[in-house]
């Protein structure tokens, strides 16, 4: 009979210990929403500035580039076929992107662009953007970035932001500082063409390379 109180006390003691242990474990676990966890992991594993730098330094030679004059001629001849066979786009968008290059002569230095005449003697003109550098033209035209390779759309969009920043900060300023009407130049950059409203006589190049010959 004397052993029964002892067993009861031992049982109560074990229950109390289990409760205290459960409370301690609960307080030691920090719960966060799944999207925050994924974002933090992505932030740690992906650096959009580094991706942009690697592309600008090492990836340029891997880009498929069309001669601007030749591309415009093909677009004028058969817009839809050229867009579908040679253009790049994201999903079901009607915006198609191309990477182009050409020699050209500076016609006029405008507030937001440099107007140039293409070097094929056709009289075609194109604008080299020098302001309002935004959007996804470089990322999409390069064909080097696939949305499926990234954990979230924020990482994918941040690539465009960093590419545009490098163009804005490193490519355009030295060009504008030295350019003048009549100069012969070489350019390489991205263009966007909307299938419904192509506006081929108002094409705007987001430049990756600008050289004064």
Q: In terms of domains, do 83 and 117 share one?
A: yes
Residue 183 has which token pair?
């100069």
Same domain, residue pair 27 and 81: no
Same domain, 13 and 115: no
Instruction: Look at residue 53 in the predicted model and tell me its pLDDT.
Output: 92
Q: Are 88 and 166 contained in the same domain? A: yes
Binning pLDDT at 50, 70 and 90, where does residue 16 land? Answer: low
Computed over every residue of the chain, the mean pLDDT equals: 86
Task: Give 101's contacts (C-beta < 8 A, 6+ positions apart).
Answer: 65, 66, 67, 68, 186, 187, 188, 189, 209
Q: Based on the domain organization, do 7 and 78 belong to the same domain?
A: no
Interaxial angle between packed helices 68-77 and 79-86, expressed in degrees from 0 to 180 and rounded to the nearest 10: 130
**Confidence at residue 121, expressed as pLDDT on a 0 to 100 scale:** 81
* Residue-wise DSSP of 141-163: HH----GGGSSSHHHHHHHHHHH
User: Total domain count for the chain?
Assistant: 2
Q: Which residues span the domain enclosing 4?
A: 1-31
pLDDT at 58: 87
- My answer on whether 21 and 95 are in the same domain is no
Mean pLDDT of 74-95: 94
Q: Is the same domain home to 171 and 73?
A: yes
The pTM assigned to this predicted structure is 0.77
- Domain CATH for 88: 2.40.50.420
In a shared domain, residues 71 and 176: yes
Cα 95 to Cα 86: distance, rounded to the nearest angstrom: 13
**In which band, very low, low, confident or very high, does the pLDDT at 140 lie, cut at 50, 70 and 90?**
very high
What pLDDT is stored for residue 182 in this prediction? 96
199-209 residue pLDDT tens: 999 999 999 99
8 and 53 co-located in one domain: no
Per-residue pLDDT at 14: 65
> Quick one: 17 and 70 in the same domain?
no
């Amino acid at each position: 009979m004397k052993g029964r109180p002892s067993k009861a006390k031992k049982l109560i003691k074990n229950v109390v210990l289990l409760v205290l242990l459960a409370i301690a474990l609960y307080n030691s676990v920090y719960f966060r929403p799944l999207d925050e966890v994924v974002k933090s992991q992505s932030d740690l594993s992906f650096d959009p500035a580094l991706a942009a730098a690697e592309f600008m330094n090492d990836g340029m030679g891997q880009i498929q580039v069309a001669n601007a004059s030749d591309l415009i001629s093909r677009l004028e001849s058969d817009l839809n076929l050229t867009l579908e066979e040679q253009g790049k786009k994201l999903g079901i968008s009607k915006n198609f992107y191309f990477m182009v290059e050409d020699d050209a002569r500076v016609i006029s230095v405008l507030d937001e662009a440099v107007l140039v005449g293409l070097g094929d003697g056709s009289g075609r003109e194109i604008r080299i953007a020098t302001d309002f550098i935004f959007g996804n033209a470089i990322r999409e035209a390069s064909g080097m970035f696939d949305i499926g390779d990234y954990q979230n759309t924020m990482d994918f969009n941040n690539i465009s932001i960093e590419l545009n920043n490098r163009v804005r900060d490193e490519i355009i300023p030295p060009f504008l500082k030295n350019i003048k009407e009549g100069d012969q130049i070489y350019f390489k950059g991205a263009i966007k063409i909307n299938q419904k409203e192509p506006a081929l006589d108002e094409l705007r190049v987001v430049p990756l390379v600008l050289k004064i010959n």
